[in-house]
Structure 1
Amino acid sequence: MNPPPPDPLSLLSSREPDTVGQWTRLPYRDGPRFNAADLHLHWPRLHVGQGLPTPPQGPLAEGWALYHSGDFERAAALGLAHAPDGLALANQATAIYANYLEPRESVRQALFKQVAERATAQLASDPDDCQALYWQAYALGRYSQGISVARALAQGLGTKVKGALEHLIALRPQHADAHVALAAFHAEVIDKVGSLVGRMTYGVRTDAAVSLFERGLQLNPHSASALIEYARGLLMLHGDSRMPEATRLYERAAHLEPADARERLDVELARAGLID
């Protein structure tokens, strides 16, 4: 009898140390700043894409204020110090920092591994943990892009990403970010393996991608990240024939007023994309 294939997540097992050196600081000084005392006033706008409940006053509220102000390193450290309740904060701060600001590719990948491993451990004890589902999928998706989507699909990581996001949407249909992430997954797979193989092997479809993008933007129309992902998705699905529409989406993102540091990074990314 042949042994069962290894779980794809075992391929991510990291021998990296917990510390990866000093994190790169946010390059902007003029963005929104928050404190724990008034964070609850801004919370609904800041978390419309995920629906995370407002944290009570205390260390975690301070950590979320640091995160939204762009101090991702201190936010992640504070979240880890208050695990398990702080793991959603630690995973979000780490993943967003790695995606937008970490210049060293090896460190970037190590950080995504850490987030994926922490989220996987959470799901082992609570398979319906919505934050763990999302950040596992996000980290695995970004890690997959770093090693190439085709290679990640061969390792079975794509199945993990798709399964986590579909389960999350079933649990929380109003989770805008999950809709956008699943739409981007459909588009990336189709772009890499083609629509026929993508549909037959991975269950991805062009119409499903567009529908998911549209639903994500309906749930959170002020998301610069969703607008950028939709623009990229249209180009992956249809090529340059959709360039005018993709450009309009980038322009919408570039003209948004960012609500926090992460949104500022997305707006600047959209502006840079228009220049390119």
Structure 2
Amino acid sequence: MSNWKAFPHDAAAFNYSRDDLWKHWERLHAGDQEPWPEDEASQDAWRAYHRGDFQNAVALGLKAETASGMNAANKAQSIYATYLVADEDEKKELFEEVVDRAEIATKEYPNSINAHYQHAYALGRYSQAISIAKALTQGLAGKCKASLDHTLALAPEHAEAHIALGAYHAEIIGKVGSMVGSLTYGVSKDACEAHYQRALELIPGSAIARIEYANGLLTIFGNKKIKDATALYEEAAESTPLDAMEKLDVEFAKSELSD
């Protein structure tokens, strides 16, 4: 594993001890419903993830050889690739690695909620990287949707899966239109907004739920929804982050408002 970029913000507030991680676990994982890991190796992987030490989180998570450790590794790599990697080839390679690991994890740990979710998340981001048109042609959309459906079957209140499903509907409608999207892929504008709204009900203070909702509105409606999207970005920018990923979310929202 080559040297990754360092987290570009002050992470002192996110350097949780094991005891502090336990105290804040429910809030930190309100979006992904990850169960508390009983083993210290997995806890250390998640501690590294939350403080933005993404490369170390991957190494520690894989070394733990547990479902939770694998989920920490996969989430760390995906968030790193999403926010901190500019090179498109490197980004795609990182997502492909997560897709492969998560697919194996779904078989080794079939009841692990986030084995299925991380498979879907990485597939979705990979699809965006290669273009939605190519992803549809290669059948990746169906695989992504199947993993998200499996996630929600295991954990109906998995807010991040609802966000991803909102994006699934939005991206397909944005590429092929409402009619073809409905007939061919079963997507709709109503379902898209319903998933985003459900996510906000589950994690009302979330920056990423607002960012993805705004992105979805712009993808489907364009400038017709610019005021609604801007309001969502503004709310996201005002959120108080509790970990490195949330800090990256907030800074992204701020960057969208400054463009």
2:218 equivalent to 1:239: no
Once the two structures are TM-superposed, the CA of residue 220 in structure 1 deviates from its matched residue by: 0.5
2:5 equivalent to 1:24: yes
Match of 2:212 among 216, 221, 229: 229
The one-letter code of the counterpart of 1:70 is: G
Structure with higher helix content: 2
Report the secondary structure of 1:38's partner residue: helix
Once the two structures are TM-superposed, the CA of residue 63 in structure 1 deviates from its matched residue by: 1.6
**Counterparts of 2:109 and 2:15 in 1: how far apart (Å)?**
34
**Counterparts of 1:193 and 1:119 in 2: how far apart (Å)?**
29
The one-letter code of the counterpart of 2:38 is: P
Match of 2:22 among 40, 48, 52: 40
Aligned to 1:194: 177
Report the secondary structure of 2:127's partner residue: helix
Aligned to 1:101: 84
Specify the structure having the higher radius of gyration (Cα): 1
Aligned to 2:244: 261
Aligned to 1:81: 63
TM, length-normalised to structure 1: 0.90
Instruction: Provide the aligned C-alpha RMSD in A.
Output: 1.3
- Asked if 2 retains the 8 angstrom alpha-carbon contact of 1:36 and 1:57, the reply is no
Moved more, 29-38 or 265-274: 29-38
Report the secondary structure of 1:190's partner residue: helix
**Counterparts of 1:109 and 1:140 in 2: how far apart (Å)?**
10
**Counterparts of 1:108 and 1:209 in 2: how far apart (Å)?**
26
Once the two structures are TM-superposed, the CA of residue 164 in structure 1 deviates from its matched residue by: 1.1
Gap change, CA 1:79 and 1:125, over 3 Å in 2: closer
Aligned to 1:16: none
Report the secondary structure of 1:28's partner residue: coil
TM, length-normalised to structure 2: 0.96
Aligned to 2:154: 171
Match of 2:118 among 135, 147, 153: 135
The one-letter code of the counterpart of 1:73 is: Q
The one-letter code of the counterpart of 1:61 is: Q
> Where in structure 1 are there 5+ consecutive unaligned residues?
1-18
Aligned positions, number: 257
**Counterparts of 1:122 and 1:33 in 2: how far apart (Å)?**
28
Aligned to 2:186: 203
> Where in structure 2 are there 5+ consecutive unaligned residues?
none
